[in-house]
Each structure stands twice: as C-alpha cells, then as structure tokens.
Chain A
Amino acid sequence: AQSVAQPEDQVNVAEGNPLTVKCTYSVSGNPYLFWYVQYPNRGLQFLLKYITGDNLVKGSYGFEAEFNKSQTSFHLKKPSALVSDSALYFCAVRSSNSGNTPLVFGKGTRLSVIA
C-alpha cells in the first residue's frame, strides 16, 4: 500500500528565512513524488515532481525538493520565504508500476509566512 506522511500540520516561518515542509512516503517499487500548493477556495497547483534522475528537483516559485531514498523523504524547501507563499501544501506519491492508480496525498501542511 502507498502512503504519505506530512508530520507537521502547521509550519510558521519569518519572511526571508528558509522554509522546509516535510514529507515521507511508503510505496512498493520506485516512487513518483509530487508537491502541490493550494490557496484558499482554489484547486491544487502543481509545484514540482521527482520521477527519476537528480535527487534535487527545482520547481515553480523558487521551490525545490530533495529525494532521499534511504530516508524515504521528499522535503520541500525554499531558501527565502515570501508572505505570498502562505498556503496549504500537499505531498503526493504513486508507484512507478501502479498503472492508472491515482496519487496518494498527505494530509497537508499549512505554511504561514510572517512579515
């Protein structure tokens, strides 16, 4: 079975400071990993993904994430947070050999960037 854990319900960070939103996963086979962001009353926006290749993945709005196979983690990071980054962030996973199965989502982490 596939699963995603986002251990923090809420992350608070000061504007200009680096931010990290944690994600660990469990999947059989090789993982496809994704990060999405959701603003209030909106759908999910795709930020970045890891499929294969370099462990450090760069995505939209200056975000990046590092795939760590030994720790089964895919933490989202940004060097300098903006107030506009405040939103709900979801990590998601599916197995590379799972056919048409949908993504499995974590419960989400609310990021609050304080000016």
Chain B
Amino acid sequence: GAVVSQHPSWVICKSGTSVKIECRSLDFQATTMFWYRQFPKQSLMLMATSNEGSKATYEQGVEKDKFLINHASLTLSTLTVTSAHPEDSSFYICSARDPLPQETQYFGPGTRLLVL
C-alpha cells in the first residue's frame, strides 16, 4: 500500500515550547490530509482536515491557534503544537487520502508527544 511518513516519531519538550510534526505522502499526491489525536486505549479523534493550498478545517473543540496546520504542498502537511502544555501530551497521527484508487486513507506511524 501507499506510504505516509511522519516525523518525529516521538518528542519530549518543556511546557511552553512549540513542536512541529511533519507528515509526508511518499508515493502519491494528497490533496487532503487529516490530523488525528489518540488517547490511550481509545479511538482516533479527528482534529482537522487539511487541504493543499487552503486553510484547514478544524473539528469542534479544537483550538486552531494552538494546533497550527499548514498543507503547503501535495505531499507535505505540518502540525505545530504551539505553547505546549502537559495536557497536550498524546499520540498524534496523520493521514493522507490517496485519490487513486478510490480514495483510500493511509496513515502515518504516529508521533508520541510528551510535554513536561
């Protein structure tokens, strides 16, 4: 299947700092990417839908000023957690939709963020 990479795979940072997570579709062009957050032993919670060249669409309850999303190219989307706090500690997973064939959504390996 198609490959989606995510970097870094894990990060530890101090409270108040910003962290950027990159998501790349390696073998297809993704006009649409998605960012999810997953808490331990729970399902994925959609944070936002990222469309190349336009502003991201955030889900209700997700602070757009805290979770900045940039989809600058057809193969790259970034999520920046600004002024991170311990409650932002989580597993963040990106997903890219392959328009061919038939719009399968592929997922990155995830980024575990720990804010101290």
Contact = CB atoms under 8 A, between A and B. Distances in A.
Given A32-B103, A100-B49, A102-B34, A41 B110 contact: yes
Interface string B53-68: 0000000000000000
A36 B49 contact: no
A42 B44 contact: no
Nearest to A102: B34
Interface residues of A, number: 22
Contacts of B51: 100
Interface string B95-108: 10100001111111
Interface of A: 32, 34, 36, 41-46, 49, 51, 60, 90, 92, 100-103, 105-108
A42 B109 contact: yes
A51 B102 contact: yes
B112 interface: yes
B107 to A, nearest CB: 4
Interface residues of B, number: 26
B43 A107 contact: yes
A15 B21 CA distance: 39
A46 B104 contact: yes
A56 B49 CA distance: 31
B28 to A, nearest CB: 13
B6 interface: yes
A45 B43 contact: no
Contacts of A102: 34, 46, 49, 95, 105
Contact of A49 (B46, B93, B104, B112): B104
A60 B51 CA distance: 29
20 contacts: A32-B103, A34-B104, A34-B105, A36-B107, A41-B91, A41-B112, A43-B109, A43-B110, A45-B107, A46-B1, A46-B105, A46-B106, A49-B104, A90-B43, A100-B32, A101-B49, A102-B105, A103-B105, A106-B43, A107-B43
A34 B95 CA distance: 14
B93 A32 contact: no
